[in-house]
Amino acid sequence: MRRLLFKSLVQGPLTEAAPAADDAAVAQLAAQVTAEARKRLGRTLAIREVDAGSCNGCELEIHALSNVLYDLERFGLRFVASPRHADVLLVTGPVTANMRQALERTYAATPGPKWVVAVGDCARNGGIFAGSPACVGGVGKVLPVDLHIPGCPPDPTALLKGLLALLESSAGRSQA
Amino acid sequence: MDWPHTIVDREAWHQAAERLRSTEWSLLGLWGEPGVAHMAVMQAGQCALLSLACEENRFPSIGRLHAPAIRLERAMRDLYGLEAEGSPDARPWLRHESPYPFLPVEGESLHQIPVGPVHAGIIEPGHFRFTANGETIVRLEQRLGYVHKGIESLMAGASLEGAAKLACRVSGDSSVAFALAFAQAVESALGVEVPARAVWLRALAAELERLANHFGDIGAVCNDAAFALLHAHFGLLREHVLRAAGACFGHRLMMDGVIPGGLQRDLPADGERVLLELLALARKRFPELVEVYDDTASLKDRTVDAGILSPVLAQQFAAGGYVGRASGRKFDARRTPGYAPYDQLQFEIPVVQAGDVNARVWIRIQEVGQSLGILEQILRQLPSGPVCEPVARHAGEGLALVEGFRGDVLAWVRIGDDGRVERCHLRDPSWFQWPLLEAAIEGNIVADFPLCNKSFNCSYSGHDL
């Protein structure tokens, strides 16, 4: 334990430095999200994740956003435990018939202004599960979707880019 | 895999239930299709498939004598209208159309805590109904099926390519294991000889998947015991594995890499270098982290003696993976029935008897060491040559059992004359682990549930299909 702690003292942070030129997407987000989020919502955007039938692949990559390399919170984005504390619902999955009501209730419990981000290919239109009688077929069938982040699953950088796009597009919207 | 398929009558079906009850046989799977019930069993390391034509959609309940079959039978009725005669639990399971009657609870000073389907963390949905006396859980009742996507109905009539993609998405964390199980079942059905290089690279992908999940979950268990330091370090190791997987297989979770006939594509030119670097890093970092886990009394205080699963139950439910091996059940599909290339690889199957959270973590720690060794052996012996063999299109039936990180994944497929899937059933190890969590949590405090739950880490999606 002492060795580990000592190492972290001399090693410096593991979080990836904001790169300058070619791989600048993550670094860009760091600057822009701070400016936008501050203007709209103070300094943070609180996210409530809802799995509405995903295969759990999207959840794994959403989890990865919080590891030390991506360190989501440095962008002012954080996950919260209750929809009542959330600004954004991050919804995955083709929306199964069995999750429809729970998703609607979660949305109803989220105070305005609120945004819905559909994550992954099946959240758009059911994806590979489209046509199944057990699935409603896409988050848009149940809730008004503000943004869709494609991918099966989207990787953490794609997720970060998408959340930034949401901030930009919501800039002109009046408070609900 | 060689496996006899027997069409049985009701009497033989009933005898099978008796053999399962006496633990002479282990239940590998129980599933349906319109008018027919199928059962896969294992006896002395040999798999066998039994099928029963269900007159008037009825068959003698296996669950009546052998509890692990109960939820499977409830699913059979929901999906195919097959009625298990004499089943002790006739409630629906995967269909959620009517109000659900939870089991009655009677006693003094009891209260109930309903949790889910939407949980506080970034977790899959499911409902847990706790009945507690003060802080102590006296019963947990699970209600699952929230992520039921109708995968079997989508499989029926799918092309082999489409079905392989679906298999990858039964449980995203076990994408390689499911793709491999499906591919092996198809190859067994159609008599496909997979090129040697593909066989070895598939094992490489499977071990990477095991590493990524073990790293992530060991860290997450520590996090649920309020020890965030290890969570951060293990999360970093997991990320390194995912990046190496992405570099080598074109997808961080290696989805759609394993296909019937072999692999979608070969390793890139720098693939072996990327993997050797990953192994060197893991060999260096992992022992330091294990030392911290082992030397931290506050962490051990939470994991030792929490959520004990008895070896008797693990045996009865034929619990696979670390859940079984932490409770004395020494079973690993890589060895029994076994498949290539593991017959040419040296590795141990760790097993302990304690059955608590610490034991499940400890088994996973040991398995990381074994997987690292396997990966090193694979990289040393990797044969050259093609990675895919064209798959003929004709009718056939195949069964496969593959060891995923969570335990043994069963795949059964029947292919029609047109080369398309007629029926396919994929059984996640969670089917036999979820009920054991209900047993293991009894007598623990409510606050220890997340910790115990994470130490099982059952799949919701894999179970709900």
Query: Which residues in chain B have their CB less than 8 angstroms from residue A98's CB?
Result: 94, 96, 145-148
pLDDT interval class at A7 (50, 70, 90): confident
Determine the pLDDT at residue A39: 61
Q: Is B297 within 8 Å of chain A by CB?
A: no
Contact B62, B16 (CB under 8 A): yes
Main-chain dihedrals φ then ψ at residue B76, nearest 5 degrees: -60, -40
**What global pTM score does this model have?**
0.93
pLDDT interval class at B147 (50, 70, 90): very high
Determine the pLDDT at residue A32: 46
Whether pLDDT at B129 is above 50: yes
The residue in chain B having the minimum alpha-carbon distance to the alpha carbon of residue A53 is: B147
User: Among B118, B170, B236, whose Cβ lies nearest the Cβ of A50?
Assistant: B118
User: Among B96, B172, B239, whose Cβ lies nearest the Cβ of A67?
Assistant: B239
Give the span between the Cα atoms of B9 and B15, in whole angstroms: 10
Whether pLDDT at B141 is above 70: yes
Determine the pLDDT at residue B445: 95
Residue of B78, B144, B149 to mutate, testing the A interface (most A Cβ within 10 Å of its Cβ): B149
Q: Model confidence over A66-109: pLDDT tens digits?
A: 999 988 888 778 899 999 999 999 999 999 999 999 999 999 99
User: Among A3, A60, A82, whose Cβ lies nearest the Cβ of B173?
Assistant: A60
Give the span between the Cα atoms of A31 and A35, in whole angstroms: 7
CB A81 to CB B120 under 8 A?
A: yes
According to DSSP, the residues that pair with B131 across neighbouring strands are B112, B139
Whether pLDDT at B462 is above 70: yes
Q: Model confidence over B148-203: pLDDT tens digits?
A: 999 999 999 999 999 999 999 999 999 999 999 999 999 999 999 999 999 999 99
- Which of A61-65, A169-173, B216-220, B335-339 has the least mean pLDDT? A169-173
Q: Which domains does chain B have, with CATH numbers?
A: 5-85 (3.30.460.80), 151-464 (1.10.645.10)
pLDDT > 90 in chain B, percent: 96
Whether pLDDT at B407 is above 70: yes
According to DSSP, the residues that pair with B424 across neighbouring strands are B413
CB A79 to CB B122 under 8 A?
A: yes
Alpha-carbon distance A19 to nearest alpha carbon in chain B (angstroms)? 18
The residue in chain A having the minimum alpha-carbon distance to the alpha carbon of residue B145 is: A98
**Phi-psi category of A95—alpha, beta or left, where left has phi over 0 and alpha has psi -120 to 50?**
left
Query: Which residues in chain A have their CB less than 8 angstroms from residue B165's CB?
Result: 128
Determine the pLDDT at residue A6: 77
From the CB of residue A10, how many other CB atoms can be counted at a distance below 10 Å? 6
Determine the pLDDT at residue B55: 93
Q: What is the SS3 assignment for A147?
A: strand
Query: Which residues in chain A have their CB less than 8 angstroms from residue B151's CB?
Result: 129, 132
Query: Closest Cα partner for B394 from B425, B426, B416?
Result: B416
Arithmetic mean of pLDDT, B1-18? 91
Burial label, B190 (beta-carbon count in 10 A; 0-12, 13-18, 19+): buried
CB A129 to CB B151 under 8 A?
A: yes
pLDDT > 70 in chain A, percent: 78
Q: Model confidence over B422-456: pLDDT tens digits?
A: 999 999 999 999 999 999 999 999 999 999 999 99
Strands B421-427 and B408-415: antiparallel
Whether pLDDT at B328 is above 50: yes
Arithmetic mean of pLDDT, B371-381? 97
Q: Looking at chain B from residue 105 to 164, which residues have their Cβ under 8 Å from any Cβ of chain A?
A: 117-118, 120-125, 145-151, 153-154
Count of CB pairs separated by less than 8 Å, A with B: 134
According to DSSP, the residues that pair with A47 across neighbouring strands are A79, A88
When the pLDDT of each residue in chain B is averaged and rounded to a whole number, the result is: 95
CB A102 to CB B255 under 8 A?
A: no
Residue of B147, B159, B294 to mutate, testing the A interface (most A Cβ within 10 Å of its Cβ): B147
